[in-house]
Amino acid sequence: MIIATGTSARQIVASAKKLAHRLEVAGYDAKIEGQQSGDWVVIDAGDIIIHLFRAEVRSFYNLEKLWATDFSTIGYNLYSAS
């Protein structure tokens, strides 16, 4: 997963189009979502997922928090036999 920030919606949409084109040239079947607004564009190329954000949107959704959670302190076992 790649997370990047752009300076404007126009830059994000242009970057997404260029990345998708280069991925397709490299043999990936890239799908793009979010080009209409340019606030958050996701490029799904199978093994590679790219998130392009405007700064305000990236800080609002804060995807980095997914890696910051410490699950080792939770006192339960998801796979315990009943």
pLDDT tens digits for 38-80?
Answer: 999 999 999 899 999 999 999 998 888 877 766 666 665 666 5
Whether 48 maps to a domain, the answer reads yes
Whether 50 maps to a domain, the answer reads yes
| H-type alpha helices, the chain | 9-25, 55-61, 65-68
Tell me the CATH number at 23. 3.30.460.10
Give how many domains the chain has, as a whole number. 1
> 3-state class of 42 per DSSP?
strand
Q: Which domain holds residue 60?
A: 2-64
Residues 6-42 pLDDT 10s: 999 999 999 999 999 999 999 999 999 999 999 999 9
Confidence (pTM): 0.77
Tokens of 26: 């490299």
Whether 25 maps to a domain, the answer reads yes
